[in-house]
Amino acid sequence: MATALLRHVLTFPQFKTYVLEDIADTNAPALGLYEKLGFRKFRRKKVRGPGSTRTSRCAPPRHSAEHGRAPDDNSCEIMHKRPNG
């Protein structure tokens, strides 16, 4: 369902660039889907951890040996796609 919906949105001619912000880097299924549809990571940003007054849609990531990040590396992905790119 998510794949079909995103493919439909990507056909809208009025947009030249699509940007997905605040994707938790622990959300492997979402990241895989976006990459499959042609989105590429172009920036990472740190997010504040628990107890912060600032809220974020990114969840603090868990330790990932695959990515070599420490457990306190709170970050999320920002991805973009250009049509036919």
Where do the domains of the chain lie?
2-61+71-81
3-state secondary structure of 14: coil
Banded model confidence at residue 18, pLDDT cuts 50, 70, 90: confident
Q: Which CATH number fits domain 2-61+71-81: 3.40.630.30, 3.40.50.10470, 3.40.50.12780, 3.40.50.261?
A: 3.40.630.30
What's the Cα-to-Cα distance from 4 to each of 33, 34, 40, 76, rounded to whole Å? 11, 12, 19, 24
Over 80: is that where the pLDDT of 54 sits?
A: no
Instruction: Please check the confidence at residue 20 and state whether its pLDDT lies above 60.
Output: yes
* pLDDT for residue 78: 65
Of the chain, the percentage scoring pLDDT greater than 70 comes to: 54
- Average pLDDT score over the chain: 68
Least confident of 24-33, 42-51, 61-70: 61-70
